Amino acid sequence: MIKDATIVMILGMGTVFLVLLALLAMMTLGGRLAARFARPRPAAPAPGPVSGAAPDADPAGSDSQTRVAVAVATASRHGAQPERGVSK
Amino acid sequence: MKYLTGRRLRLGLCLGLLLAAGAGVARAEPAEAAAGGPADAAVAVAVADDPGRPAGDDLSLRGGMERIAAATGLAAFLDDQWGAAVMLGVGLLLLYLGVAKGFEPLLLVPIGFGCLFVNAPFANMGAEHGLLGLIYNAGIENDLLPLLIFMGIGAMSDFSPLLGNPRVVLLGAAAQFGVFGTLLGVVLLNHLPGFDFSLKEASAIAIIGAADGPTSIVVGRRFAPDMMGSIAVAAYSYMALVPLIQPPIMRLLTTPHERRIRMRQEREVSRLERLLFPILILLVCIVFLPAAVPLMGSLALGNFIRECGAVERLSHAMQNEIMNVATILLGLGVGMQLDAVKFLRPATLGIISIGLMAFALGTAGGVVFAKVMNLFSPRNPINPLIGSAGVSAFPMAARVSTRLALEYDPQNVLLMHAMGANVAGQIGSIVAGGVILALFS
């Protein structure tokens, strides 16, 4: 009976690992496919002017370089397509 | 003595008289008692006074008292059902553990009451048309209730932590050593006097190591129906004791440096991945292990309903109403298996002790395998403490891993990684159960 139990143990652990390895492979593949084909998330809407705030209150700061950087980043985020073959 | 005065004293004397009469009847009419129990014996005595009348039509004071006395539980316990009295104590112990100690109260409370019901003399609640008999035949004999529980678990489970770090699925596989390693232990137990488990029974006992109640019930019912109650109670009790069982083993098998390993943040998981995952596990199961499809399919159904977002009402019902009703009925049905004849025997002691071994082996298997995985990916190591969460005790095992890691590094929060290993353990336990079903069905 010990021999039978050993066989069951080997078969059982082997099957469990086989099934879960198959699942691992499919999850990894699915993750890569999702990263390739998933649409990029819409950028968070820029905060509008707060009522009562001073007209020159800018969440990005008053530095013009910072404003330019924010504008470039926003534009590239809206316009760029996901890079193919790269997973997240 | 001051309490034994007046009304209480009279009540006690009456009870004593009833008892004495009942015991006297039980002794005087052994043939009738053996044929139909003390209640039938009392009826037989009354009818013997006036054989022309059917039982119950003629009631003398003495005959009535004798009937009532013989129909009391105390008379039954004093006669030959002392085991039922012991099992009432077991039922009360389960209630105590569930309510006072907080050990899996959702299950132990209905199981405890099921144990009290089935061991109540003359109540016949475990008979075919008794409450427990009906529940068992309609809900457990055909696996309905365990599958409903799996649907609820699926509806409550979030597989994102697993999808974000898929390699931890292997920890769920390694922890199933608790099942198959224990199988050898059960077979070795047969060398002790009083134990004689077949390979099927040994497999049903070993499934305790899956740390998964519904799977234990499904496998136990098929291959060891007489031991199903003991197996389920052992599984649920040890699941509740995971915070006590696992930490010493985890400390024994890891170094302080390993316990402080910080894991990389998981990647973000898209909704599409979460939606497709239940379909994926179902397809994998259909292809590789159809015997596990009922269990895995129920889990997948519940999780798909949760993730699709189109049927919020059903998702809510599965997580709440269906799950709660199924839990109550399953607990009562399992409690029905705790009758004295089935429970009070040496095999139960073996099951209880081997169950502890099963949990220990499962924990060790996960922790050691995490260390082995680190040999192959030193740049992205796994904290071995999450290996113990590969057993299916959800979410207790994940909490234990997280808590232990925080003891050694208060900034190291492993909860999501441990949850990933934990849901992998759920899947692994179903696969382990499916393997046993496929091998022996």
Half-sphere exposure of B241 (CA within 13 A, CB side): 16
Distance from CA of B188 to the nearest CA of A (A): 7
Q: Tell me the torsion sign for CA atoms A28, A31, A32, A33.
A: positive
Task: Please write the tens of the pLDDT for every residue from B399-422.
Answer: 999 999 999 999 898 999 999 999
Structure tokens at B177: 């050593």
Least confident range of B32-41, B120-129, B130-139, B374-383: B32-41
Flag whether pLDDT at B30 surpasses 50. Answer: no
**Terminal-residue alpha carbon distance, chain A:** 50
Alpha-helical runs (H) found in B119-176: 131-135, 144-156, 160-164, 169-174
Name chain B contacts of A40, Cβ cutoff 8 Å.
Answer: none
Mean pLDDT in residue range B150-177: 93
Q: Is B100 helix (H, G, I), strand (E, B) or coil?
A: coil
Percentage of residues in chain B having pLDDT higher than 90? 54
Task: Please write the tens of the pLDDT for every residue from B275-288.
Answer: 999 999 999 999 99
Contact between B429 and A16 under an 8 Å Cβ cutoff? The reply is no
CB pairs under 8 A between A and B: 105
Distance from CA of A80 to the nearest CA of B (A): 19
Flag whether pLDDT at A21 surpasses 60. Answer: yes
Q: How far is CA B394 from CA B241, B346, B354, in A?
A: 12, 30, 21
Q: Which residue of A has its CA nearest to B159?
A: A27
Q: Higher model confidence: residue B49 or residue B182?
A: B182
Distance from CA of B277 to the nearest CA of A (A): 8
Task: Please write the tens of the pLDDT for every residue from B73-103.
Answer: 888 888 878 888 999 999 999 999 889 988 8
pLDDT tier at B45, thresholds 50, 70, 90: very low
Percentage of residues in chain B having pLDDT higher than 70? 87
Mean pLDDT in residue range B182-193: 88
Name chain B contacts of A6, Cβ cutoff 8 Å.
Answer: 184
Phi, psi at B128, each rounded to 5°: -55, -40
